[in-house]
Structure 1
């Protein structure tokens, strides 16, 4: 049994018009639907706004019936007072779709050549979402055709379920992967958790302008990632202004206020000229406040106002200024602990913690050591303008060492290690001896760092009155030192058990830390708070 064809489309109030015989000498999209034997619709659902243009409707109906007398033509007056209002048009078309009876034995087509741009977009969206279970129908004039056949134009069916749509979907997928590649600096990372984080960040960066909070240990790549987020938004025209970066740990006193919010000449000793301030420099763009936990409470209060109102008052001025900036904040501190200790404002944390992404340290991503090694070798090749490579044995030796190393400085440590090996390599080829020497230097440096950290006065005070054997004291001191320097129990566990966790299919770092503390009758939350006090 032959399936019926039904076309749904708007009346073309200008293109479909015409009462004299000359109307057949130009393209008329609705009438043209019925001028192609290869298509031949059986019915037309003609949409209008509030019953307007009845003479045109009657003329179009008459012309269609003159071509195909058996055609069923039904008109539908949609309740829309403003044809350019997305809300009204989409709502009216959505109600039409919900109230229309779609038959299984009928093929439906949505005509996109008529109506306002708003109505065309709404029809497409409803069809793509399957509220209108139809194929798209596009008609167009043949610009070089004049005379009696001009009214027919050409016709094209676009099926959203066909390969054409698959090609569009493939293009969108490629753009998504390109965006994620940009966020990863072009490094083909293999760590599943990190790749998931980047995929989520890519969606957020393109759909939200709310503050981003990047956390994680020093050297994990927070600053580089923030710059790539800006570059991604810039590519998609989501920012127009500059990218401004500041390390809040370098800001103190009047310098902090002046650097961030600007000042007027004479505001304080040394203020010999007006200064716009970094927030104003970032107007229309983005600002990275790295180590935001280092800001003083007064600066935090002004930053909160700037975030909420996009306005703030420079030092020495009685007139507020405005800046519409996007904020990316970075910290290696646990800001919840800082709030509990009174060093960070709870209301500011709530404002900047809309989207938080914790970057894992290098030791937590052993799968990504190799691609990052290749990235660093390419970097030093560019910088030294000499091809830098590694022998196979040297590469295997370094990777074996790197995958079990703690990397307390994370990617900064790795970059420095590759730079040193490249500098010492004879003829630009890193040998096993070069690797062995570098590994010894790294272990010595990390050992010295641990020894220096072990002298943490808070840890020493915590252990002062505890009756412990010497071995127990050394062991507990190491655990407490790591807890004081990390943001969570899971992160502390990843640092403490970096070597043995690699052999476990499902390492539970938090549980191992919890059990160790419990053996000394200690609770993690209470211990962390005491070490931070």
Structure 2
């Protein structure tokens, strides 16, 4: 992968933020297809490159005119928001976005896996980006010029799944007025993604196992096997070992697929991914691409406080909603952030204490925020300030607890020195 080429003049002006982005970009993007340049640089744009023009200014801004370069103005090169904006600008329309250390390690490992043809099993809750990771593996593989066929096993009727996967001959069953090659043959020379693999009926699992082992399929109504050359990636949002133990998934198919498992964690457990994902969605869905509203620090704090039961899909809903609520403004403020569920956390407009917040009108958002802050403080006190024990009591990771504490502090809610700086 080619590295980002930065000249000396650019490095003097934008080296801090560019170096931060480059450290992350090498795990995610084809850096040879990205060009970073100063906004004053009038030299011809490099053909085929995704160009980002940078300006250091007082008011952050981001936008793109037509199909030209992304214009990005940042205020603080060391801020999370500035880095998140730049990563979003560097990403392709369907490319991966991440900044969390563990997420980046997953993509780095996936990059190494891509050069082989071994099956990959991607585990993780719904909406965590399993298909994005699958497409990343395909794009980095020798099969990148071949087809990428994604099949959602839960979205197709059980009675049709076999015919849609393996194909059928004309007249093989009622309604088969013409032959169909099926998804497996359609993926010949490329990658087949089997999403929600745990939903596949048991009787089809045996046929799929043989197709994977022999690299051949027998269409319905035919007796002649047809050779295929495919790489299989399977995704599951349920625990497959449990499904095997309870007889709902074949053990032999599980071991065939589980050559190299990858696991994507819920979004709430990788808070560093939230800001770049949010800015990428703002770029993708803004009504006016030349004037994309920028997330304020308060809005970013709100996003980090949320528990994200719907993961990245919920974040996309929230961002599309926020873009509508900005009404042409240049900044997405905390009041524009509305979550899918009524259980949400809203940042206070000014530094306050829990007691002062409690004295405000009893909006559900305030009640929920007070409840979470009090639960954290009380648990920390009960655990003698030990964050590790408190996190276990609260049912979250210690890392998530640290981010919740920091986000509450950034939102202006004083929750006590013990909570902020408690013992490990």
- Structure 2 length as normaliser, TM-score? 0.59
Per the alignment, residue 265 of structure 1 pairs with 170
Counterparts of 2:156 and 2:148 in 1: how far apart (Å)?
19
Residue number among 498, 503, 509 corresponding to 2:402 in the alignment: 503
Q: How does 1:107-506 map to 2 (within 5 A)?
A: 178=26, 180-181=28-29, 189-206=98-115, 208-233=116-141, 237-381=142-286, 384-390=288-294, 395-432=296-333, 435-439=334-338, 441-444=339-342, 496-497=395-396, 501-503=400-402
Contact 1:182 1:228 in 2 (8 A): no
Contact 2:299 2:337 in 1 (8 A): no
Once the two structures are TM-superposed, the CA of residue 221 in structure 1 deviates from its matched residue by 0.5
Report SS of the residue matched to 1:415.
helix
Contact 2:113 2:137 in 1 (8 A): no
Counterparts of 2:168 and 2:237 in 1: how far apart (Å)?
29
Report SS of the residue matched to 1:426.
coil
Distance 1:384 1:317, change over 3 A: farther
Once the two structures are TM-superposed, the CA of residue 275 in structure 1 deviates from its matched residue by 0.8
Counterparts of 1:375 and 1:246 in 2: how far apart (Å)?
26
Once the two structures are TM-superposed, the CA of residue 325 in structure 1 deviates from its matched residue by 0.6
Contact 2:269 2:400 in 1 (8 A): no
Once the two structures are TM-superposed, the CA of residue 241 in structure 1 deviates from its matched residue by 2.5
Once the two structures are TM-superposed, the CA of residue 430 in structure 1 deviates from its matched residue by 3.9
Report SS of the residue matched to 1:271.
coil
Once the two structures are TM-superposed, the CA of residue 299 in structure 1 deviates from its matched residue by 1.2
Per the alignment, residue 473 of structure 1 pairs with none
Once the two structures are TM-superposed, the CA of residue 252 in structure 1 deviates from its matched residue by 3.0
Distance 1:443 1:215, change over 3 A: same
> Considering only CA atoms, is the larger Rg found in Structure 1 or Structure 2?
1
Once the two structures are TM-superposed, the CA of residue 497 in structure 1 deviates from its matched residue by 2.3
Point out which structure has higher relative CO (alpha carbons under 8 A, 6+ apart).
2
Gaps of 5+ in 1: 1-173, 448-491, 506-533
Distance 1:343 1:188, change over 3 A: closer
Distance 1:244 1:431, change over 3 A: closer
Per the alignment, residue 10 of structure 1 pairs with none
Distance 1:189 1:339, change over 3 A: same
Counterparts of 2:102 and 2:398 in 1: how far apart (Å)?
19
Report SS of the residue matched to 1:403.
helix
Counterparts of 1:228 and 1:494 in 2: how far apart (Å)?
37
Counterparts of 1:182 and 1:325 in 2: how far apart (Å)?
24
Contact 2:119 2:258 in 1 (8 A): yes
Contact 2:167 2:181 in 1 (8 A): yes
Report SS of the residue matched to 1:327.
strand
Report SS of the residue matched to 1:249.
coil
Which digits, 9 at most, give the CA deviation of each residue in 1:380-411, with x for residues without a partner?
23x65452213xxx622222122121101111
Distance 1:225 1:313, change over 3 A: same
Per the alignment, residue 459 of structure 1 pairs with none
Report SS of the residue matched to 1:267.
coil
Number of aligned pairs? 277
Q: Name which of structure 1's ranges 320-329 and 250-259 shifts more when overlaid on structure 2.
A: 250-259
Once the two structures are TM-superposed, the CA of residue 419 in structure 1 deviates from its matched residue by 0.7
RMSD: 3.1
Distance 1:503 1:205, change over 3 A: same
Distance 1:325 1:431, change over 3 A: closer
Counterparts of 2:393 and 2:290 in 1: how far apart (Å)?
37
Counterparts of 1:195 and 1:293 in 2: how far apart (Å)?
27
Counterparts of 1:251 and 1:315 in 2: how far apart (Å)?
17
Once the two structures are TM-superposed, the CA of residue 181 in structure 1 deviates from its matched residue by 2.3
Once the two structures are TM-superposed, the CA of residue 500 in structure 1 deviates from its matched residue by 8.2
Contact 1:214 1:331 in 2 (8 A): yes
Counterparts of 1:364 and 1:342 in 2: how far apart (Å)?
31
Contact 1:179 1:232 in 2 (8 A): no
Between structures 1 and 2, the one with greater helix share: 1
Counterparts of 1:494 and 1:385 in 2: how far apart (Å)?
45
Report SS of the residue matched to 2:140.
helix
Once the two structures are TM-superposed, the CA of residue 331 in structure 1 deviates from its matched residue by 1.1
Contact 2:169 2:219 in 1 (8 A): yes
Contact 2:24 2:104 in 1 (8 A): no
